[in-house]
Homo-oligomer: A and B are copies of this chain.
């Protein structure tokens, strides 16, 4: 099998495992697209337009996704401190809990990789992956 196929297979596996892990930890009705959004919102929040750019969808779609996350209690809209047109979307405590659950699920998967590759092997894998995707995680899916 080619490298490219292996990469896609591994990523698909990981995505599925993170999603399953998040669900198993009690967060229902949450989709991979929400994970994309959370990773963008996590540090300090973001505007709808920024989120749209991150997810590569229209700002209307991003706005709808935010609306859904607000309904589910994972994020809230706050007035933007520097621009009265904009609104800052930030994670609620539930949003942070869900993000932590995703990180735990990812860590579980990585722990299994360490069983197969060793800690050093995982570190080298990480190093190589970072060098071929230098732009950073444009869309850190789950």
Report which A residues bind B (CB closer than 8 A).
Answer: 1-15, 18, 39, 103, 106-107, 109-110, 112-113, 116-117, 121-122, 124-126, 128-133, 135-142
**Contact sample, A vs B, 11 pairs, CB 8 Å cutoff:** A1-B126, A4-B106, A5-B39, A5-B106, A8-B15, A9-B133, A10-B129, A12-B139, A116-B131, A117-B128, A117-B131
- A116, B133: Cα distance in complex, Å: 10
**Do B12 and A106 touch (CB < 8 A)?**
no
Tell me if A's interface is mostly helix, strand, loop or mixed.
helix
Known: A124-B128, A125-B128. A136 touches B9 (CB 8 A): yes
**Do B128 and A1 touch (CB < 8 A)?**
no
Given A8-B139, A125-B132, 5 additional A-B pairs, CB 8 A: A6-B126, A7-B11, A9-B133, A10-B129, A13-B135
Selected from B9, B109, B110, B125, the residue in CB contact (under 8 A) with A125 is B125
**Do A8 and B137 touch (CB < 8 A)?**
yes
Residues of B within 8 A of A112 (CB): 132
The closest CB in chain B to the CB of A128 belongs to B125
**Do A137 and B6 touch (CB < 8 A)?**
yes
Residues of B within 8 A of A140 (CB): 5, 8-9, 12
How near does chain B come to A6, taking the closest CB pair, in angstroms?
4
